Chain A
């Protein structure tokens, strides 16, 4: 079993749809969590950090459930430009510890 698991998709949704991705992690001692976005053949870029209380950035909402060891990303009112692969990242500690990436969930938003 992988340390960080994501549904690979692909998710194909129409513009304006709401879509949610989940990510599960196996290390209960994990301290910090992130969502990165990766466009085709480009480098990953931080989308948002995930805080224990949940956080929102515009159309994007991230949630953390420590008891069940998963994080989620909700995208509302999908845009064509949201088409990308979304990588879940789990960090082992708060001192620039080892980060483990999931294999990503691919989203395609269609007109």
Chain B
């Protein structure tokens, strides 16, 4: 079964350092999402890509976070500088984008996530 790949699985860093997370979506999925999930809460959307274009980054703290998906396939999320409050699970998801799939194209498939601890 195809999976969304994320790396690293765990990251420990000190505040003010830079961190980067990588995601490779399921092959052929045009839509890619980055979420942040704090313990006890649901995933919060940070950025959504359609192919290589950003379609929603309204909740992305742009002073320190950046995301790119240059070739419309894999994606990188960066934080610089990291702050204590950034400690969370960062989840990547992808979904198909085919007009004849109805609701199915909104189904999201998640990677295992990157657990970030900022000390």
Contact = CB atoms under 8 A, between A and B. Distances in A.
A97 B95 CA distance: 11
A69 interface: no
A102 B106 contact: no
A32 B110 contact: no
A103 B40 contact: yes
B114 to A, nearest CB: 11
B41 A97 contact: no
B44 interface: yes
A49 interface: yes
Contacts of A94: 102-103, 105-106
Contacts of A100: 45
B7 interface: no
Interface residue range, chain B = 20 to 34
A43 B113 contact: yes
DSSP class of B's interface residues: helix, strand, loop or mixed? mixed
Contact of B42 (A42, A51, A104): A104
Given A42-B112, A43-B91, A96-B50, A34 B107 contact: yes
A87 interface: yes
Contacts of B102: 94
Nearest to A98: B56
A99 B45 CA distance: 8
20 contacts: A32-B106, A34-B107, A42-B112, A43-B112, A46-B107, A46-B109, A49-B107, A51-B103, A87-B42, A94-B102, A94-B103, A96-B31, A96-B50, A96-B95, A96-B97, A97-B106, A101-B42, A101-B43, A101-B44, A103-B40
